[in-house]
Amino acid sequence: MKKKVRFTVNKKAWLFVLPSVVLIVAFVFYPMVQAFITSFQTGMGNNLTFGGAANYQRLLTDNTFRKALFNTVLYLIIQVPIMIVLALAISSMLNDKKLKGKGFFRTAIFLPCVTSLVAYSIVFKSLFATDGFVNGFLMNLHIIEEPIAWITTTGFARALIIIAITWRWTGYNMIFYLAGLQGIDESVYEAAAIDGATGFQKFRYMTVPLLKPIILFTTINSTIGTLQLFDEPMNITQGGPANATITISQYIYNLLFKYQPNFGYAAAVSYVIVVLIVVLSFIQMKVGDDKE
């Protein structure tokens, strides 16, 4: 005879879990559901009426949304790989026991991600101004003949945003890789050295595979952060010139606070980010799956 499986509920444990569950439902899941419902409503301000898929149909013909989507994806495919590779390389160098001043270098590289956004935006705008330090340095090296208008030229403005994001978040990912590297047994590298492996071969065939779960985590985390990018375009270029650096998140902000408030369409645009995050995270999980 089959034994009946009895499930018991630990009421005391639920007393500890319940506050977190209530807060998550109230401040995460309920707003998500409400935003999804709002995305099917049309109208301005609080005068919303059910409009079916009108907001989603509008996305197909909205040139500003297309530009915001293009910019966001562009930042993603260029900046995230550069940042991950840089963080891996820097963490590998800073993990060297023979390196002096490791604490200083680790702190210096990590510091940008905890620096005030407004402060560092002002510094970046000053450095990359027409008469700023960067143009002066490049001209002294005879790399350029005339100053570059970094903030008011489309291509250079996008490059500036990518440089700013990379500078700010490389150190954040570096910390994860350093933690992972310190968990790898030194005997693994010693055995490789005995077999005649070079430093690059150790990095490629040992460090990267052993850090694969952490690389997957940081890649997904960076992807989500880039798809939600708002701070740098808003504070450094204000989305300009002519929306050349605008992102989806900044466009949502404009729809809600800069233009005439359109909550329904802004909610529909926000769900584009949700779909992109889900799809790209799923692809990355599949690509990074260790199961053969």
Q: What is the pLDDT of residues 226-261, one digit of tens each?
A: 999 998 999 999 898 889 999 999 999 999 888 878
Residue type, 169: W
Span between the terminal Cα atoms of the chain, in Å? 39
Instruction: State pTM to two decimals.
Output: 0.87
Q: What is the mean pLDDT of residues 172-198?
A: 86
* DSSP H or E segment with residue 50: strand 49-50
Residue type, 90: I
Written as six digits, the tokens of 108 are 């210096």
* DSSP H or E segment with residue 210: helix 208-210
Q: pLDDT digits over 17-76, tens only?
A: 888 999 999 998 999 999 899 889 887 766 777 888 889 999 999 999 999 999 999 999
> For 120, which DSSP code?
H
CA atoms within 13 A on the CB side of 157: 21
SS3 228: coil
* pLDDT value of residue 292: 45
